[in-house]
Amino acid sequence: MTARAAKRPHRTRVLCLSGPNLQLLGVREPEIYGHETLALVHERLAARAKELSATVDCRQSNHEGLLLDWIAEARTSFDGILLNAGAFTHTSLALFDALKAVAIPCVEVHLSNPEAREAYRHESKVAAACVGKVAGFGPQSYLLGLEGLLGALRR
């Protein structure tokens, strides 16, 4: 390691995963999810991460298997995970198992408040594998989740 590399502060690496249908932010049910696109959410998240001496790698997939692959790969590349699993939140034991297996701190994120919506959205299958949850603040939930995750990692 060079002397210059040794002087650079460690930048906490966060993987941000968004699940099914989140690529439709801005056009999908804006009365629930708002008008901001996922690209803009990711842009704002990256800027905030930089301010907090962190980096964020944002990804979205409609495919549960791909989300599982990314979580497994995170074990050696990331310090923490932000996860908006979308509808998989309420159905996926596989995501729960993957989060438990990698043992990386994860914060569950939701644009809306699932507990204030339909009854079938009240149960999260992934919550027990997460250090925290932020819900109901629209796109701001991602930023609040990032701040909470970084705080948990630095404690």
DSSP of 125-140: SSGGG-SEEEESSTTH
Domains of the chain: 12-154 (3.40.50.9100)
Q: If we measure between CA atoms, which residue out of 13, 19, 33 comes closest to residue 75?
A: 13
Asked if 139 contacts 44 with a C-beta cutoff of 8 angstroms, the reply is: yes
DSSP of 12-24: EEEEEEE-TTGGG
pLDDT tens column, 2-43: 455 455 567 999 999 999 999 998 888 777 777 889 999 999
Q: Which residues are catalytic?
A: 33, 110
Residues of the chain short of pLDDT 70, as ranges, are 1-9, 116
pTM: 0.90
